[in-house]
């Protein structure tokens, strides 16, 4: 469960929003510059809002009024950045293991499970510069998952991919949703990604929440909107 309330201003954007969600996959949907990535950065701790309170699964990650700010490294948030941000000097294997906690007996099974799920086996000894865009995003997702996150943040994970890779990564993300039970926040400006992955949608525009709706209502609204189009 995620409770978020924040106020922040930078550049032309004045961000002021509050929401609470119990969905397993929440989509933050809106045009570029709506403030979606800022919300992810605030959850991960990469952005400290001027004021705000963020509670994830009952743990207060940030409460500016009470002076609480859990350090980024201790938040256990798996962040899949838009550009992947794989470590260029490390192999795929070592990228995947970077955030993995101490290597106990279960780590091997878990590692193999994620590698199988995302079909990363043939890529393990490669360096990021030898991967395609879709492969990089799959490694980034695997790396985030192996860090045992309480929440997975996906920032436009399909942006910049060509059509075939988009379909492929979307399919992997769907599989992840079915097989792993990790609370996920998806940021996107593509309605089809929202429809394929989310359970609930928070629509943002110019730093404000326009509406928060369950996925069925979002899909119905989109269908109605499409029907009106000539």
- The answer to the question of residue 104 lying near another protein (CB under 8 A) is no
Nearer residue to another protein within complex by CB, 89 or 228: 89
| Burial class for 139, CB neighbours closer than 10 Å (0-12, 13-18, 19+) | buried
Q: Among 51, 64, 91, 147, which residue interacts with another protein (rule: CB under 8 A)? A: 147
CB of 214 to another protein, least distance (A): 29
- Smallest gap from residue 46 Cβ to another protein (A): 6
Residue 143 engages another protein in binding (rule: CB under 8 A): yes
Residue 102: exposure state from Cβ atoms within 10 A (0-12, 13-18, ≥19): exposed
Q: Which is nearer to another protein, 32 or 74 (CB)?
A: 74
Contact 154, 147 (CB under 8 A): no
Q: DSSP letter for 147, please.
A: T
Residue 151, both tokens: 């929440």
Residue 188-227 contact track with another protein, rule CB under 8 A, x = bound: ----------------------------------------
Position 53 contacts another protein (CB under 8 A) = no
CA distance 125 to 122: 8
10 versus 98: smaller Cβ distance to another protein: 98
Give the span between the Cα atoms of 24 and 185, in whole angstroms. Answer: 8
CB atoms inside a 10 Å sphere around CB 229: 5
Give the x/- contact pattern for another protein in 5-44, rule: CB under 8 A. Answer: ---------------------------------------x
User: Is 211 within 8 Å of 203 (Cβ atoms)?
Assistant: yes
Residue with tokens 């369950």: 214
Question: Which of 49, 78, 134, 207: binder of another protein (CB under 8 A)?
Answer: 78
* CA–CA distance, 39 with 28 (Å, rounded to integer): 9
CB 6 within 8 A of CB 52: yes
**Contacting range for another protein; rule: CB under 8 A; set: 61-69, 86-94, 114-122, 203-211:** 86-94
Question: Is 228 among the residues that bind another protein (CB under 8 A)?
Answer: no
Q: Could you say which of 3, 46, 64, 191 contacts another protein (CB under 8 A)? A: 46
Q: Which residues bind another protein (CB under 8 A)?
A: 44-46, 72-79, 81, 83, 85, 87-89, 98-99, 101, 127-129, 143-144, 147
């Amino acid at each position: 469960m995620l409770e978020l309330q924040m106020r922040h201003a930078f550049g032309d954007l004045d961000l002021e929003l509050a929401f609470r969600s119990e969905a397993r996959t929440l989509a933050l949907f809106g045009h570029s510059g709506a403030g979606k990535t800022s919300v992810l950065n605030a959850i991960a701790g990469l952005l400290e809002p001027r004021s705000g309170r963020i509670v994830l699964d009952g743990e207060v990650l940030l409460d500016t009024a009470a002076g609480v700010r859990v350090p980024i490294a201790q938040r256990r948030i798996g962040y899949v950045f838009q550009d992947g941000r794989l470590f260029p000097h490390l192999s795929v294997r070592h990228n995947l293991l970077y955030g993995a906690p101490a290597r106990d007996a279960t780590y091997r099974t878990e590692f193999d499970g994620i590698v199988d799920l995302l079909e990363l086996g043939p890529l393990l000894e490669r360096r990021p510069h030898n991967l395609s865009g879709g492969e990089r995003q799959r490694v980034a997702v695997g790396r985030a998952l192996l860090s045992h996150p309480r929440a997975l943040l996906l920032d436009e994970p399909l942006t910049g991919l060509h059509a075939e890779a988009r379909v492929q990564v979307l399919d992997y993300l769907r599989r992840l949703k079915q097989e792993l039970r990790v609370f996920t926040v998806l940021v996107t400006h593509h309605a089809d990604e929202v429809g394929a992955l989310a359970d609930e949608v928070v629509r943002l525009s110019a730093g404000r929440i326009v509406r928060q709706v369950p996925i069925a209502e979002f899909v119905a609204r989109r269908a109605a909107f499409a029907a009106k189009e000539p």
